[in-house]
Amino acid sequence: METTFDLDKEQILRDNLDYTLFSWSKQAGLNPINIERAEGVYLWDRDSRRYLDFSSQLMNVNIGHGDQRVTEAVAAQMREVSYVYPGMITKARGDLGRRLADITPANLTKAFFTLGGAESIENAVKLARIYTGRHKIVALYQSFHGASYGAMSVGGDPRKFAVDSQAMPGVVHVENPYAYRCPWYSTTPEECAQRAADAMERIIGYENPGSVAAIFLEGESGTSGCIKYPPGYWQRVREICDKHGILLVADEVMSGFGRTGKWFGSDHHGVKVDIMCLAKGITAGY
């Protein structure tokens, strides 16, 4: 098969549209930006137009594009060893585990490496169920936890409705503490936090607290509403978890690694979590 690396921009566009599928998009009528290079906060297309990367791509290129320190370190690692199966160890694996333990809450000292954010969520579900011997997961309606079947089931994003009949069983959703449009007609953010948490505990009571393995919260609300947690909400949820023997899982896939001004979104709430899910900024897309 003849291969050329000197494709014109029209051929590149045709190859992408003809031979690949695009996520989160209707496939007909797509006209994606044809990117040639990127550096810092900018990307350039093949007509030399420059774009400011306001979203850091999928909220993951936290350190910017084209950082030569990273590319050189990656190249050096690839020359040394590019892959070993999970039963083997390398210096890089141990270094990363130790550094994650340094920046995550003090009670989190072990890392289990996965291939992405959705897989991180799915493994957190498995770990919580195995550890507690329970099966139910509680999460918020307006939340996003990934696009695999299990992660999509934990999230409440309405884009999952097309495959909702095949969702993972055992997930219970509750209302968000949305102070701006509070479902409980609260007059202050603090009151909304209290009423939202009380409603969560009532639902857990109906579901049987002894059947609930974990509560999943995003470190800070992301693409399913960007709904800011009102003061006191995380603390009250932690109390509910402690009262009923439930694990608290922080999904920091989108809000982690400096995106909120601290290492992790949950750091703003001063609450100990039992499991933390990481992705995106951990590699910054490199």
**H/E run at residue 238:** helix 233-244
* Average pLDDT of the segment spanning 30-38: 97
End-to-end CA distance of the chain: 30
The 10 Å Cβ neighbour count of residue 133 is 9
Which has the closest alpha carbon to 124: 273, 281, 283?
A: 273
- In the predicted structure, residue 4 carries a pLDDT above the cut 80: no
The percentage of residues in the chain with a pLDDT greater than 70, rounded to a whole number, is 98
Mean pLDDT of the chain: 96
- In the predicted structure, residue 3 carries a pLDDT above the cut 60: no
Q: Which residue has the tokens 């992660």?
A: 151
Give the DSSP letter string of 170-203: SEEEE----GGG-TT--SSHHHHHHHHHHHHHHH
Q: What angle do CA 199, 248, 229 make, to 5 degrees?
A: 55
Rounded-to-integer distance, Cα 149 and Cα 160, Å: 9
- In the predicted structure, residue 51 carries a pLDDT above the cut 80: yes
* Average pLDDT of the segment spanning 66-78: 97
Span 188-215, pLDDT tens digits? 999 999 999 999 999 999 999 999 999 9
User: Is domain 9-70 annotated with CATH 3.90.1150.10?
Assistant: yes
**H/E run at residue 128:** helix 117-132
The DSSP bridge pattern shows strands 42-45 and 50-52 to be antiparallel
3-state SS assignment for residue 6: coil
Higher pLDDT, 25 or 42: 42
Rounded-to-integer distance, Cα 146 and Cα 105, Å: 23
Q: Map out the domains of the chain as residue ranges.
A: 9-70, 84-282
- In the predicted structure, residue 65 carries a pLDDT above the cut 90: yes
pLDDT at 2: 54
pLDDT at 224: 86
pLDDT at 16: 97
User: What is the sign of the dihedral through the CA atoms of 158, 159, 162 and 164?
Assistant: negative
Cβ-count burial of 116 within 10 angstroms (0-12 exposed, 13-18 middle, 19+ buried)? middle
* Average pLDDT of the segment spanning 76-94: 96
**Contact between 63 and 39 (Cβ < 8 Å):** no
The distance from CA 195 to its chain's CA centroid, rounded to whole angstroms, is: 26
pLDDT band of residue 139 (cuts 50, 70, 90) is: very high
Span 250-266, pLDDT tens digits? 999 999 999 999 999 99
pLDDT at 6: 55
CATH topology (fold) of 84-282 = Aspartate Aminotransferase; domain 2 (3.40.640)
Would you mind telling me the total number of residues written for the chain in this entry?
A: 286
